[in-house]
C-alpha cells in the first residue's frame, strides 16, 4: 500500500464522542479549530495500517507531512487512535503504546494546560519512548527496557534518527532534550 493521508474537520459524530472525554467546554481550543489527520503508517510487524491523530488546524498540514516522512523512512508506529478510545486517560493510552495528540488536560501536577490541550503536541510510541523522572524511573513496566537509550530499537526516538529528524524538520521541540526529566515520546510546537 502506498502512503495516503487526509485532513478533515471534526465531524458531528466525533465531536459527540470527544465531548466530556478528551474535550469539554472551557478547553482552550474549540472543536471547530481541531482537525483529524488520517494517514497510512508502518506497524511494528512491517504491515501498513491506518491511523488518526487530532491536532490544531494550524499544524495539521505539518503533521501530515511529518507522518508521510516517517512512512517513507519505514519508521514503525504501534498504533495511532484518538485518546477517546482510552476514555481520555493518558496512562491507559500509554499502556497500549498508542501514539496520540489532542487531549484537553493539564500538565501533571499543575493547573496549566498541556500543549496537548491546544492540539500542538504529539506523543509517539510511548512505551518505546517513556517519560523518565529525575530519578530515572518510569510508571510503565513495559517501558523499563527502554530506559537505557544507548541501544537503538525500532520505534525509538533517538537524536539523529528518523523520528527526531522528522520533527526537527518542522521546528518542533523534543522532550528527550529536556534537562532533568525526559519525555522521549513528546514532540510539540513550543517545545514543552
Question: Beta-carbon neighbour count of residue 187 at 10 Å?
Answer: 29
Q: Into how many domains does the chain fold?
A: 1
pLDDT at res. 190? 87
pLDDT of 26-68, one tens digit each? 999 999 999 999 999 999 999 999 999 999 999 999 999 999 9
Whether the pLDDT of residue 1 is over 80: the answer is no
SS3 (DSSP) at 48: strand
pLDDT at res. 152? 94
Question: Beta-carbon neighbour count of residue 40 at 10 Å?
Answer: 16
- What torsion, rounded to 10 degrees, do the Cα atoms 118, 121, 125, 128 define? -120
Whether the pLDDT of residue 2 is over 70: the answer is yes
Q: Which of 149, 187, 154 is nearest to 77 (CA)?
A: 154
Q: Which of 116, 59, 57, 58 is nearest to 82 (CA)?
A: 116
Beta bridge partners of 16: none
Domain region containing 179? 5-188
Amino acid at each position: 500500500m502506498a502512503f495516503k493521508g487526509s485532513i478533515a474537520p471534526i465531524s458531528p459524530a466525533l465531536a459527540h464522542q470527544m465531548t466530556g472525554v478528551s474535550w469539554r467546554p472551557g478547553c482552550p481550543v474549540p472543536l471547530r479549530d481541531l482537525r483529524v489527520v488520517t494517514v497510512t503508517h508502518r506497524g511494528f510487524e512491517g504491515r501498513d495500517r491506518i491511523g488518526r491523530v487530532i491536532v490544531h488546524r494550524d499544524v495539521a498540514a505539518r503533521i501530515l507531512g511529518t507522518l508521510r516522512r516517517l512512512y517513507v523512512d519505514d519508521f514503525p508506529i504501534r498504533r495511532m487512535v484518538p485518546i477517546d478510545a482510552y476514555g481520555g486517560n493518558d496512562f491507559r493510552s500509554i499502556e497500549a503504546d498508542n501514539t496520540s495528540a489532542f487531549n484537553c488536560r493539564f500538565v501533571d501536577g499543575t493547573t496549566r494546560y498541556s500543549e496537548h490541550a491546544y492540539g500542538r503536541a504529539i506523543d509517539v510510541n510511548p512505551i518505546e519512548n517513556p517519560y523518565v523522572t529525575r530519578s530515572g524511573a518510569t510508571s510503565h513496566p513495559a517501558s523499563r527496557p527502554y530506559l537505557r537509550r544507548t541501544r537503538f530499537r525500532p520505534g525509538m526516538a533517538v537524536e539523529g534518527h528518523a523520528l527526531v529528524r522528522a520533527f526537527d524538520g518542522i521546528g518542533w521541540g523534543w522532550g528527550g532534550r529536556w534537562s532533568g526529566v525526559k519525555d522521549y515520546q513528546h514532540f510539540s510546537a513550543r517545545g514543552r
